């Protein structure tokens, strides 16, 4: 075992040295982060793992990948941005991964892997395997909120995760003593009721012993451990940093001279009567492998534009028609609940995570009864830890589950933005389109029930702006059930938005049988010939009310509900505008930069010659939502304002 560890450490050292040379020659672009000096932690930890165990890395992740069995040629090709790389040149050094080896990815966001690794542990626990996950992170990440949220969640649920801190003494330039209120990161383990230990991270045998014990503990269902390996990075923060000096030359030299982990491993082998000739053969084999890896990677082709769009999202699935189309009255909340119930019944990979989703059935009762039917293993009440919840969902989605995350109010999604935007939306792309991230984030947004500025926002435009996300916003129970079922079944990350007013006021005919609706297909809610009204969520009901008023005046309004904001079905909207020659776009969110602005712009680009009047946009005034009931009603668009805008575009000369 020690001989293999030495060989892997030599391979990591040689890989990093070649990567730095290629960066200096201009072949590696952007940047890369070397782990020279830290090889023993990666190798010692991975040496005690099984092939199907998981590791999650950080931006300094080359060593973890090599130690877990990644192919060095494909790794080098990825650093060079070549099509034969693990991410086909779309991810680069900071996002290196090898899913087939259980390597869930390096990450450019500090601390993100801690939460994703927690999700991988949750997945293993729910699927009933004996897999464990090692979540590598640096000392700087121990001061991120995700560190505390994830450790608490993992300890609470006794997840099989080993949190392994590579304390290399510095964040970017700030030393640990100036960044942490405790002398050792491992001391924080006590706060979460898990074992914590600080070890010599440059002694590969010490790492194997410590991580090995933690792995056995995790496999036996005793929960997570926190291990802090003391080490030192020999180089700067990154290969392109070019920072002013922040470490003394004497400090750097002492670590290189006295604490070299590769030299230490060689010394241990020498004590076991492994001679210099044998060590030389190991080094020669590593050199030959790595030289070939560089040569082949340099000769590999560059990716072309054709790879880009398929890598963003997985293809849409075929629609499932209801086996029995007979419908009965159902409320919006009941439709949401039924979609989740039937989806969980059909697929045991579907789980529900969220605050108060179990015992009380969610703040708006959307998950009532699910805990009783599917049990606490699949319906999980979480702590108030939005960051950990969504990061764990990403990790679970990468490892075989299909999580549904309920956000109590969509305003709180600000705590989840990194995992949604930087992780869920981009992971498939950064890994070259090789994986899906099947998860749904759902919950209520919007005003109308007097909850003021921090509980009433309409934030759909944030997510509709992000490639990789699907954004669904249904306006009635029939659409809510069919589209939520489709979202849960889809292989892409979906942001599913439910309006609070619809919880209270929307009822309709809904088939009892399971069915899905097409994602990315608008619905014509009312046919008309004189003006097109495009409306979303609660505004659809207002638009239909306005259309009935306009009909009495001789104006035929065609009401279109996009239902999905990304992808956006502009074909249906453009076809309607070319028929009516006029358009009003209404949404509850702020008028500027909203979904209405995007729809209006595309109409102007694709149907300008058909327009008899400029597109009218209706949205909220540019102020936060007030608490006062009269002011709230005044700010939210309504049927009267929609009708007024329709008259204006119809009578414009």
Q: Which residues are catalytic?
A: 386, 455
Cα separation, 135 vs 146, in Å, equals 12
Pairing of strands 440-445, 161-167: unpaired
Task: Please give the helix or strand (H or E) that residue 227 lies within, else none.
Answer: strand 225-230
Cα separation, 605 vs 198, in Å, equals 61
Question: In this structure, what token pair is assigned to residue 630?
Answer: 């009269």
Backbone angles phi, psi at 57, to 5 degrees: -115, -175
Asked if 228 and 167 count as a contact pair (C-beta separation under 8 A), the reply is yes
Closest C-alpha among 200, 198, 204, 199 to residue 264: 204
Cα separation, 160 vs 155, in Å, equals 9
Strand partners, 172: none
Pairing of strands 327-331, 507-511: antiparallel
Question: In this structure, what token pair is assigned to residue 175?
Answer: 């030393």
> How many CA atoms lie less than 13 Å away from 311 in the CB half-sphere?
21
**In sequence order, which residues have a C-beta less than 8 Å from that of residue 653 and are 6 or more positions away?**
none
Asked if 298 and 80 count as a contact pair (C-beta separation under 8 A), the reply is yes
Backbone angles phi, psi at 168, to 5 degrees: -100, 20
Catalogue the E-assigned strands of 121-209: 133-138, 161-167, 196-200
Q: How many CB atoms lie within 10 A of CB 548?
A: 12
Output the furthest CA–CA distance in the chain (Å, rounded).
98
Cβ-in-10-Å burial (0-12, 13-18, 19+) of 525 comes to buried
Backbone angles phi, psi at 405, to 5 degrees: -110, 125
Angle at which helix 276-298 crosses helix 2-24, to 10 degrees, equals: 40
What is the strand order of the sheet 196-200 is part of? 54-56, 133-138, 161-167, 225-230, 196-200
CA 504, 506, 507: angle at the middle one, nearest 5? 120
Q: How many CB atoms lie within 10 A of CB 258?
A: 10
- Whose tokens are 């930890």? That residue is 45
Cα separation, 403 vs 420, in Å, equals 13
- Whose tokens are 């399971």? That residue is 514
Long-range contacts of 232-235 (CB under 8 A, 24+ apart): 232/37, 232/38, 232/168, 232/169, 232/202, 232/259, 233/34, 233/35, 233/36, 233/37, 233/38, 233/60, 233/168, 233/169, 233/170, 234/34, 234/36, 234/37, 235/20, 235/34, 235/36, 235/37
Omega before residue 567 within 30° of 0, cis:
yes
- Whose tokens are 């999202």? That residue is 313
Question: In this structure, what token pair is assigned to residue 158?
Answer: 């006794």
């Amino acid at each position: 075992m020690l001989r293999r560890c030495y060989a892997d450490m030599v391979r990591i050292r040689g890989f990093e040295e070649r990567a730095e040379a290629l960066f200096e020659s201009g072949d590696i672009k952007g940047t890369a982060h070397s782990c020279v000096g830290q090889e023993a932690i990666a190798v010692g930890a991975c040496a005690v793992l099984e092939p199907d165990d998981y590791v999650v890395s950080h931006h300094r992740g080359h060593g973890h990948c090599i130690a877990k069995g990644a192919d060095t040629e494909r790794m080098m090709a990825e650093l060079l941005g070549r099509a034969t790389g693990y991410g086909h040149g779309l991810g680069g050094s900071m996002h290196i991964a090898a899913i087939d080896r259980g390597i869930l990815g390096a990450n450019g966001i500090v601390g993100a892997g801690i939460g994703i690794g927690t999700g991988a542990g949750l997945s293993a626990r729910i699927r009933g395997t004996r897999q464990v996950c090692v979540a590598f992170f640096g000392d700087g990440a121990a001061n991120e909120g995700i560190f505390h949220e994830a450790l608490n969640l993992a300890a609470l649920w006794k997840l099989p995760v080993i949190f392994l801190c590579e304390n290399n003494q510095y964040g970017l330039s700030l030393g640990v003593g100036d960044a942490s209120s405790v002398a050792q990161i491992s001391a924080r383990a006590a706060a979460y009721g898990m074992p914590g230990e600080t070890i010599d991270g440059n002694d590969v045998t010490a790492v194997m012993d410590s991580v090995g014990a933690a792995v056995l503990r995790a496999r036996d269902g005793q929960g997570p451990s926190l291990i802090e390996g003391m080490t030192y990075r020999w180089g700067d923060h990154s290969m392109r940093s070019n920072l002013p000096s922040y470490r003394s030359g004497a400090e750097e030299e002492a670590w290189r001279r006295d604490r070299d982990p590769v030299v230490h491993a060689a010394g241990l082998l020498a004590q076991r009567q492994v001679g210099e000739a044998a060590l030389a053969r190991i080094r020669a084999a590593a050199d030959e492998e790595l030289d070939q890896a560089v040569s082949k990677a340099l000769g590999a082709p560059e990716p072309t534009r054709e790879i880009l769009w398929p890598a963003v999202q997985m293809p849409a699935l075929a629609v499932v028609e209801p086996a029995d189309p007979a419908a009965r009255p159902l409320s919006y909340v009941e439709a949401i609940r039924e979609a989740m119930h039937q989806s969980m019944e059909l697929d045991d990979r579907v789980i529900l995570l969220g605050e108060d989703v179990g015992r009380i059935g969610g703040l708006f009762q959307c998950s009532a009864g699910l805990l009783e039917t599917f049990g606490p293993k699949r319906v999980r009440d979480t702590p108030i830890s939005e960051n950990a919840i969504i990061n764990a969902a990403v990790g679970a989605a990468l490892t075989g589950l299909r999580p549904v995350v309920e956000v109590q109010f969509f305003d709180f999604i600000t705590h989840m933005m990194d995992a949604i935007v930087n992780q869920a939306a981009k992971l498939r792309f950064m890994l070259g389109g090789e994986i899906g991230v099947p998860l749904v984030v759902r919950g209520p947004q919007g005003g109308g029930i007097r909850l003021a500025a921090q509980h009433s926002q309409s934030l759909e435009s944030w997510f509709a702006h992000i490639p990789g996300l699907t954004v669904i916003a249904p306006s009635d129970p029939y659409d809510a059930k069919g589209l939520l079922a489709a979202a849960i079944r889809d292989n892409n990350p979906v942001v599913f938005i439910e309006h609070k007013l619809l919880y209270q006021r929307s009822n309709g005919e809904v088939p009892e049988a399971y069915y899905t609706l097409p994602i990315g297909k608008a619905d014509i809610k009312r046919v008309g010939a004189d003006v097109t009204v495009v409306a979303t969520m609660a505004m659809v009901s207002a638009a239909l009310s306005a259309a009935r008023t306009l009909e009495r005046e001789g104006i035929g309004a065609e009401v279109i509900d996009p239902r999905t904001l990304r992808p956006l079905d502009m074909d249906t909207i453009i076809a309607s505008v070319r028929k009516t020659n006029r358009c009003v776009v209404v949404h509850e969110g702020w008028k500027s930069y909203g979904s209405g602005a995007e729809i209006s712009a595309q109409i102007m680009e694709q149907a300008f010659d058909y327009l008899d009047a400029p597109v009218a946009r209706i949205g909220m005034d540019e102020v936060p939502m007030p608490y006062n009931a009269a002011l709230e009603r005044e700010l939210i668009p309504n049927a009267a304002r929609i009708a007024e805008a329709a008259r204006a575009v119809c009578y414009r000369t």
